[in-house]
Structures are given as C-alpha cells and as structure tokens.
Amino acid sequence: MNYKSDSFNISVYPVWQWWEEHYQKAYGRPSRIDFDWLDRTYLGRREFLHKHFGHIGTAGSEPLPEICSQIMPFHSMIIPVALGMEATIQEIGGYAWKNMSGEQLENLNPVNIAESFIGELILKQRQERIARYGTATQMIDLASVSNNAFMMRGPDFFVDLLTDKNFAHHYLGVITETMCMAYKFITETFGHIDGFPLGNCNVTMMSPKLYDEMICQYDVRCVEYAAKINGKEPCCDLHHCNVKTEPFAKSYRKIPGLRSLQGSYRSDIKKILETLPGVKFSAMVNPVELLNRPISDILFDIEQCIVDGANDLAIWDIDTACSPEMLGEFFEKIGEISEKHNKKMSLGIIPFSWEELAWEFPTYVN
C-alpha cells in the first residue's frame, strides 16, 4: 500500500543571490555576518515572505529560535574537510576547495570527528548558541559516500569506479566509517536523529549497475549503523536530486528502511511507487525550468505528479530572475491544482541560504 496524504507541501529554497537582489538591495547589506544580523534579517525576511506569500499560506514573522541557532560547519563538506581536503571561504561567499591527490587518498584513514578540530568547533558553536538562544540545533550534512568521494576526488572518482575498483573501495570504506563516527558524535551531542538521510546527488552520474556494484553497500552500511546506534529499525530518507529517478528504483530497494525518495517531478512516479511500495516520493522541480520552460507545461507535470502519488514538491535553488511576483502567481496556480485533487497546499520558504547559516561570508561588499 502506498502512502497517501490530504496535504501537499511545497519546500522552496532561494539561493543567496536571490536574497541579495530581492531583499538586501532594499534593506541594506551587512559589513559582516554575526548573530545580531542573523536575528534582524530572519525577522525581516519572514515579514517579507509574509507580505508576498502570506495569502498563499507561508508563515508570518513570529521568531523561531531553532532557525538562527542552527549549526552546520563546512555545510556539505564536513566529511571531506575532516579527512584532509582543503577548503577556504571565498570573498563572494561559499567555499572553494581543492581535490585530493591519489597519493593522499591511498594514505587515507578514518577520522573520528569527536576527536578532531571539527568536533571542538561544533561543541564551541553549540555553547555559543545555547548561551544566546537557550537552544542549539544542527543541520550537519553528512551527504553520502558518493557525494563525499566526488568532492574529494573530483571527476576521477568515476574513473576509479570503472578502472581501479580496489583503490575506490579503499577510500569509499574510509569515508563511510568517518561518516558513521560523525553520526554517532552528532547524536551524542544533539540527541536522537530520525534515521540516516542520504544525499545521492552524484549517483545520478553513474549507471544503476555500477551503483549496485560499488556504492550501494556503503549506503546500506550507514543506514544500518544508524539503526544500531538508535536502537531502532533502519530508516532512510534518500535524496536522488532533480533527475529522473525510476532507473534507480530497483537499486534503492536494497536500502533498508527506505522511507522517502526525492527525485525529479518528471520521473515515472507510478513506476517508482510500484517498485517501492510504501515509500513517499518527494518531487523536485529543476529551478532552471522556471526560466526556460513554459510555466503551463511545468504546471501540467506537477498536476500529473499529484495524480501519480507524489507526496510533496521541492523547488530548490530559486534563481534571481524569478521575482517574488512571478513566484507568487506560480504558487497560487499550484494551490488551485492541489484543491482540484482534494489536497491542501502548504508553502515553506527557507529564509536563509546555507552559506549565510554557515557564516560562509568573510565580508559583504556594498
């Protein structure tokens, strides 16, 4: 039996450049990011969102301490950085990093984050946020073994999978054990995590056969390790990125406790849900399509998603060219489609970019 809901949630994430264009230009840019700026900006952006989208159903300006108190050092690079990858914050924001050499990867050993400088940083940031907000939350992204391997090795990762399997297995194993130890540290520091989320963005660049042979075992290891730590049945929410996902549906049957799968809204959702009964499918809209594809075509496919059983919709990395007015009209039409199929749409727009929450801006230039 497949999961059914009377609601249809839309998760929206604008890139930091979108906020620069549509909010900071009018309300001023900071000389630097600090807690005071985060607090003011959080409230201001909530009011901004309520002004433009409140009639659709997004939240108003009430403060939620868990937003600004989030901890996410190095964002999705935490495992590569722990294992020795060089990363530096750029003046314009975000990280620049340097791929690791084959020799570095050959000499790689698992790292216990709890005993590393990253563990010390997390504990320090936790105390800072508790002192200010009375709470500390985390959005630490352990990604997945394939995402971490690609970041560390670059495109040669895919060459290794095909031509030097033993070498690839060596560093994939090291990455996996580092991820598991990091998961344990995070749960001990912040409390129970519901299952193990996997971000398999880079799996989309290999075949299902290669995934089955080289990667799947490490994804399974992470999920089973989390279940053991939590003393519960395995549970996994898997992000496959906004590409067609049905080619990997059979492969993902091997992931224990798979609860949800996120992939392109243009996937064959019926086929996926037949292959993975009981799994919730989260449909992703590629933000580029909002710029180069007729909105009527996008809305047609979104309606088909709802008919075929999609649980929710995710539109991440909204481009600057998408104005609040254009988005408002778009969301209103999705709401009308939802009502047509006896579902109530709810809209959640994240008021910060990951770069801002991770303080990945050394300076702002006016």
Confidence of residue 255 (pLDDT cuts 50, 70, 90): very high
Is pLDDT above 70 for 130?
Answer: yes
Q: Residue 318: in which H helix or E strand, if any?
A: strand 312-318
Asked if residue 364 belongs to a domain, the reply is: no
Structure tokens at 171: 């560093």
Residue-level pLDDT at 92: 75
Tell the residue number behind the tokens 């040669």, with chain if given. Answer: 156
- pLDDT at residue 365 tops 50: no
Distance CA 191, CA 183 (A): 11
Mean pLDDT over 133-138 rounds to 94
Whether the predicted pLDDT of 49 surpasses 90: yes
Confidence label for 366 from pLDDT (cuts 50, 70 and 90) = very low
Q: How much is the pLDDT for 96?
A: 87
Q: Is residue 89 assigned to a domain?
A: yes
- In terms of Cβ atoms closer than 10 Å to its own Cβ (0-12, 13-18, 19+), residue 310 is buried
Question: Is 110 within the bounds of a domain?
Answer: yes
Mean residue pLDDT across the chain: 93
Separation CA 268–CA 265 (nearest Å) = 8
Q: Which residues contact 237 (CB under 8 A, 6 or more apart)?
A: 195, 197, 198, 259, 260, 262
Rounded CA separation 58/305 (Å) = 22
State how many domains the chain has: 1
Residue range 142-174, pLDDT digits in tens: 999 999 999 999 999 999 999 999 999 999 999
Q: Which domain holds residue 226?
A: 7-357
Per the domain annotation, does 1 fall within a domain?
Answer: no
Residue 365 lies in a domain: no
pLDDT tens, residue by residue, 193-245: 999 999 999 999 999 999 999 999 999 999 999 999 999 999 999 999 999 99
Residue 232 is predicted with a pLDDT of 96
- Residue 363: per-residue pLDDT: 62
Q: The CATH number of the domain where 224 resides is what?
A: 3.20.20.210
Q: In percent, how much of the chain has pLDDT > 70?
A: 96
Question: Residue 87 falls within a domain, yes or no?
Answer: yes
- Secondary structure (3-state) at 15: coil
**pLDDT score for 2:** 57
- In the predicted structure, residue 188 carries a pLDDT above the cut 90: yes
Q: How far apart are CA 97 and CA 94, in angstroms?
A: 10
299 SS3 class:
helix
At 30 the pLDDT is 78
CA dihedral sign, ordered 83, 89, 90, 94: positive
14 in a structural domain: yes
DSSP-assigned beta bridge partners for residue 346: 9
pLDDT in tens, 324-358: 999 999 999 999 999 999 999 999 999 999 989 88
Classify residue 2: in a domain, yes or no. no
Task: List pLDDT tens digits, range 268-310.
Answer: 999 999 999 999 999 999 999 999 999 999 999 999 999 999 9
Q: Any residues with CB less than 8 A from the CB of 56 and at least 6 apart, and which? A: 328, 331, 332, 335, 345, 347
